[in-house]
Chains A and B, each alone.
Chain A
Amino acid sequence: MPNSWEQYFEENRAQLDIHQPDEERMWQAIAERQKSGGVVKNWGFRIAIAIAVVLAVGVFVRHELMMQQQLDTLAAINKELAAKEHDYIMRVNQKWDEFRSLPSVETDYDAMLQEEIKILDDIYSKCLDDIKAHGYNERAVLIMLDTYEKRLRVLERLINEKRKQNKDEKKSNHIRI
């Protein structure tokens, strides 16, 4: 017979844990909390992660700064834009060659074209400056691509004008003869 509570509990220690916890549910809560906050357990690993993050941010910032400093065409931003710009440049050059190949009595067309192209070049440069100053932005890129579309339309219009003029010229020569 136990003569004290200390002795009684000592003798019944194996049966002391009478309450049964909901182990599964509690573990799920613990695992979730570990995933959200306490996953990284040892200090070495924490320091390594901190260094990796600092390095990654450093490399990213350096890359952004370098990119912004060297950015003088859309092609410097990414491969997709590089391909698009290359395609536009080829098409514009073809139109240029076509425009120049057509004989013209009217010299004003060249001046008009130069003026329009100058305006489009300015727009392109302003957008590029905006990207350099504030980083990549979709709107500026779209405007820059649009300047190529406009160049093509201007060239096509002037080529048509030249063709029309040449046709008229031929007609009037024929009538004179």
Chain B
Amino acid sequence: MSKAINLTEQLVARCVRGDERASLALYKQYVKAMYNVAYRIVGNQFDAEDLIQDAFVKAFDKIGTLKEPKAFGSWLKQMVINQSISLIRKQKLLKIKLHLNDELPEPELDEVPPDLPIEQVMKAVMELPEGARVVFTLRVIEGFKFSEIAQMTGLTENNCKVQFHRSRKLLNNQLKSKIYAE
């Protein structure tokens, strides 16, 4: 682990000095993970590719301002998430605001079936409505708090919680019906 951190730090230092091979090495180290982060938020390959290119160009351009080189990964990931949310907000796809009520429903237990293949779950997540998918992804997969999600998306914390509840319910039902259909 410490070796990996040292390597990242070294690559960042070389990158600051303008070493192109170090930039490529950093890119190879992070591109797949970052691409998937973007894909899970924006929901399509083309926007994810554009976002990742923008994020890496921006990151390499501003790498000299990075105070902790070992935090390159989380710095880049935050950049990718912010740009992804910004893109879907720009495209007015983030229809998170609920039209019915904004009240928090009673908590419901997840019914996660055992040995459920991740591909099947991810497919179901990607099929969730935009707002529900974004909040679910940021909360469950990326591990953000509701307050942080609210800040990033520009929604209220309560709205995020409602959206999260909705996503869980939809996901449970969707997977249940798929399992029963099989």
> Which A residues are within 8 Å of any B CB, using their own CB?
1-9, 12, 15-23, 26-27, 29-31, 33-34, 37-39, 41-43, 45
Q: Residue A27 contacts which of B27, B33, B36, B121 (CB distance < 8 angstroms)?
A: B27
Query: Hey, which chain A residues are within 8 Å of B49, CB to CB?
Result: 21-22, 26
Q: Could you give 24 example pairs across A and B, Cβ below 8 Å?
A: A1-B112, A3-B110, A3-B112, A5-B110, A5-B168, A8-B116, A8-B121, A12-B118, A12-B121, A18-B118, A18-B119, A18-B122, A19-B39, A19-B48, A21-B32, A21-B52, A23-B28, A27-B27, A30-B53, A30-B56, A34-B23, A38-B61, A41-B63, A43-B64
Query: Hey, which chain A residues are within 8 Å of B15, CB to CB?
Result: 41
A sample of 14 more A-B contacts (CB under 8 A), given A2-B112, A9-B140, A16-B122, is: A3-B109, A4-B112, A5-B110, A5-B136, A15-B118, A17-B36, A18-B122, A19-B39, A23-B32, A30-B53, A37-B57, A38-B61, A41-B15, A42-B64
Q: Residue B36 contacts which of A18, A30, A39 (CB distance < 8 angstroms)?
A: A18
- Count B interface residues, CB 8 Å: 39
User: Given A8-B112, A23-B28, A42-B16, A34 and B57 touching (CB < 8 A)?
Assistant: yes
A-B interface, 4 closest residue pairs, ranked by CB to CB distance from nearest = A21-B35, A17-B36, A38-B61, A1-B114
User: Given A3-B112, A41-B61, A33 and B36 touching (CB < 8 A)?
Assistant: no
Do A2 and B114 touch (CB < 8 A)? yes
Do A26 and B53 touch (CB < 8 A)? yes
